[in-house]
Amino acid sequence: MAEIKAFFFDQDGVIIDTEKDGHRVAFNRTFKKHGFDFEWSVDEYHNLLQISGGKERMSHYLHTKGFGKKVKPEDEAELIKQLHHDKTDEFISMLEKNLLPLRSGIHRFMREINQRGLRLAVCTTSNQRSAQAVADGMLPDIRFDFILAGDMVSKKKPDPEIYLTAMNKAGLKPEECVVVEDSENGVTAGKAAGMHVVATTNFYTEKEDLSRADIVVSCLGDPNGEKGELRAGGDGLVYDGVLTVEQVVDYFSF
């Protein structure tokens, strides 16, 4: 098999557990700021997460349930754009206040990638401002080769476009790349791109069908912190709750 040369990370739910207490809260604060009297509950947002992209989620909700007051068709695009801009401001403010810590094992795992001289990139449906804020503000000592955000591709996950774009940008083959994802849409995108996939579950995705991933763990784990559990895949992997880059590279080299 080919040598592993790159790791491509999703952001939300993988690098930080953002969805339930991050993006959802930021959306709700933004709706209130703009005079809308509805909120997305935990369960409602879970349903909306099956749609990739924040602007796309808002458009879907507007068309199916409405915003509680009439929005003229000619005003919709600009409203969604403004809501998403303001929601990103709210989300970045939460990051700056350290309200959303890194998931267990992320910093260690990325540092190991850097130490081995492998390529490292973020491939997210979030916009560029959010992705850059996470990389610069929460992982300042990690070297990223590039960051691909949702607005840089025409098709969102589960379409593989973002991972194919990353592969081409890195000048690699699919079998040389490992995707780290957390959702069914993300896993589907990674496998459709022909890549190896490691999935880390979270509150919203632990009950999703992640069976197409090669390895499924509850988190990457830290030696002196939260340990992960092997949920599926990883046949023959010696796993003690801390998944290392060396283990992953070796696993996909056989």
Mean residue pLDDT across the chain: 94
Please tell me the predicted confidence (pLDDT) of residue 244.
98
Tokens of 57: 């989620």
C-alpha distance from residue 160 to each of 189, 209, 233 (Å): 4, 17, 22
Residues 6+ apart with CB under 8 A from 177: 4, 5, 6, 7, 8, 163, 166, 167, 170, 193, 195, 196
C-alpha distance from residue 184 to each of 126, 129, 152, 197, 213 (Å): 17, 25, 21, 11, 9
Q: Of 10, 17, 214, 222, which one is the catalytic site residue?
A: 10
Please tell me the predicted confidence (pLDDT) of residue 223.
96
Please tell me the predicted confidence (pLDDT) of residue 99.
85
Q: Where are the alpha helices (DSSP H) in 71-202?
A: 73-96, 106-115, 128-138, 161-170, 184-192
The burial of 167, by beta-carbon neighbours within 10 Å (0-12 exposed, 13-18 middle, 19 or more buried), is given as buried
Best CA proximity match to 14, nearest among 160, 235, 136, 179: 179
CA-to-CA distance for 66 and 37, rounded, in angstroms?
A: 11
Mean local confidence (pLDDT), 7-31? 93
Please tell me the predicted confidence (pLDDT) of residue 43.
92
Best CA proximity match to 8, nearest among 250, 187, 251, 222: 187
Domains annotated for the chain, with CATH where assigned, are 6-17+102-251 (3.40.50.1000), 19-96 (1.10.150.240)
pLDDT tens digit string along 138-176?
999 999 999 999 888 999 999 999 999 999 999 999 999
Active site residue 136: no
What band does 21 get if pLDDT is binned at 50, 70 and 90?
Answer: confident
Please tell me the predicted confidence (pLDDT) of residue 107.
98
Mean local confidence (pLDDT), 97-116? 94
Active site residue 10: yes
Please tell me the predicted confidence (pLDDT) of residue 181.
98
Please tell me the predicted confidence (pLDDT) of residue 78.
97
Q: Where are the alpha helices (DSSP H) in the chain?
A: 24-33, 42-48, 54-64, 73-96, 106-115, 128-138, 161-170, 184-192, 245-251
pLDDT tens digit string along 37-52?
999 998 999 899 889 8
20 pLDDT more than 90: no
pLDDT tens digit string along 226-251?
999 999 999 999 899 999 999 999 99
pLDDT tens digit string along 197-220?
999 999 889 889 999 999 999 999
Whole-model pTM: value is 0.85
Percent of the chain with pLDDT over 70: 99
